[in-house]
Amino acid sequence: MKEVYYYEKLSEGKVRCGICPHRCLVTEGKYGLCRVRKNSGGTLFALNYARCAASALDPIEKKPLYHFYPGSTIFSLGALGCSFRCDFCQNWEIAQADAPTVKLAPEQAVQLALEAGRDCIGLAYTYSEPLMWYEYVLDTARLAREQGLKNVVVTNGYINPEPLAALLPYIDALNIDVKAFQPQFYRRLCGGDLEPVLETVKACVEAGCHVELTTLLVTGLNDSPEEITQLVDWVARLDPEIPLHFSRYFPRYKLDLPPTPPESLERAWEIAREKLSYVYLGNITGGKGSSTCCPQCGAVLVDRDGFRVQVRELAGDRCAKCGTRVRIINGRG
Ligand code: SF4
């Protein structure tokens, strides 16, 4: 257990958590909405501190991050707890249920990443919702940075500005879910609000972190051309070089709509490519939207076939064919 880093003590032993926009008011002996913060004797504790529910050495492309050290691996960790209750949760066993956990101190996590092999660039906080693991992620990311490791966060972006500002100096890259572009989708299917997520994306871009976005297209719920256009217009206004991943939904947890038709994904890709330089399709094999091409001349910069990755016409951060500067952080120089 660890005392939560952002909360307020109120009268009669109550506390108000400051980590995410829910700002839960938690009375003595009760839990916040994420189920991993508890008021014990008027102090708010993070119950999931240094408790790890899943870990693996993953390809960086699995996060997905396609423009951050392509072809590398990253030591990935996840904990229990989430600020959302998405009916279509793809990781519900650890986000919404009580999977077993093992103790893993920040120093141990960093050591495991250092020992994970030459291609491992650092630590990814992922699988469920790492911002609900805030205290541990901040402590571990600080240590990892001291050891020259990269820190990656894969998140729903639901966090208040103050804790986010304290975390970002230690974070190199994020993949942030923009789950839909309608506030009612967030309220009805996720139990949260869209606006704070968009603010998080902006803050991460402004802080100079490498940012990629993911939208899980759920059959008939957020895959209309009108909604895709609104999303793409928003991303393009922010920065048209932000990579956007459309991911295919499969029935999971409480939602049993049929999987997203491949045509919906391809239509989204076509719409997005009109305004964005880098658009990808995930959870689907073959077809367009897996390799990275030069937005100027079309040369294949990074060739992907599943998780088999080959860096091709890339020289540092430029296209080796036409010399155009491309938005890829590439450790190979
Ligand atoms: S982090 Fe948990 S306890 Fe804190 S406001 Fe968010 S949901 Fe509530």
Mean pLDDT of 284-291: 82
CA of 153 to the centre of ligand 1 (A): 18
Q: Is 15 in the pocket of ligand 1 (CB under 6 A)?
A: no
pLDDT level of residue 218 (50, 70, 90 thresholds): very high
**Mean pLDDT of all residues in the chain?**
95
Distances (CA, A) of 105 to 102, 112, 133, 147, 308: 10, 11, 13, 16, 32
pLDDT at 88: 87
Report the nearest atom of ligand 1 relative to the CA of 81.
2
More confident residue, 316 or 331: 316
pLDDT level of residue 287 (50, 70, 90 thresholds): low
pLDDT at 171: 98
Mean pLDDT of 120-124: 98
Report the nearest atom of ligand 1 relative to the CA of 37.
3
pLDDT at 332: 58
Q: Is 4 in the pocket of ligand 1 (CB under 6 A)?
A: no
Domain ranges of the chain: 2-46, 51-289, 291-333
Give, as one character, the DSSP assignment of residue 273.
H
Mean pLDDT of 75-104: 87
Using the predicted structure, report yes or no on whether residue 241 has a pLDDT greater than 90: yes
Q: Is 16 in the pocket of ligand 1 (CB under 6 A)?
A: no
CA of 39 to the centre of ligand 1 (A): 11
Q: pLDDT for 242-271, tens place per residue? A: 999 999 999 888 888 999 999 999 999 999
Handedness of CA 47, 159, 108, 69 (dihedral sign): positive
Out of 113-117, 170-174, 287-291, 327-331, least confident range:
287-291
pLDDT at 106: 98
Q: In which order are the strands placed within the sheet that holds 300-305?
A: 292-293, 300-305, 308-311
Mean pLDDT of 166-181: 98
Residue 16, token pair as written in the block: 């108000």
Report pTM: 0.96
pLDDT level of residue 99 (50, 70, 90 thresholds): confident
Q: Is 37 in the pocket of ligand 1 (CB under 6 A)?
A: yes
Backbone φ and ψ of 183, nearest 5°: -55, -35
Architecture of domain 51-289: Alpha-Beta Barrel (3.20)
CA of 232 to the centre of ligand 1 (A): 30
DSSP 52-67: ESEEEEEEGGGTT-SS
Distances (CA, A) of 112 to 6, 142, 252: 28, 15, 31
Burial of 40 (0-12, 13-18, 19+ CB in 10 A): middle
pLDDT at 289: 87
Mean pLDDT of 157-173: 98
Using the predicted structure, report yes or no on whether residue 333 has a pLDDT greater than 70: no
Q: Could you tell me how many helices (H) and strands (E) the chain has, helices first?
A: 8, 21
Q: Is 44 in the pocket of ligand 1 (CB under 6 A)?
A: no
Q: Name residue 122's beta-bridge partners.
A: 150
Termini Cα distance of the chain: 43
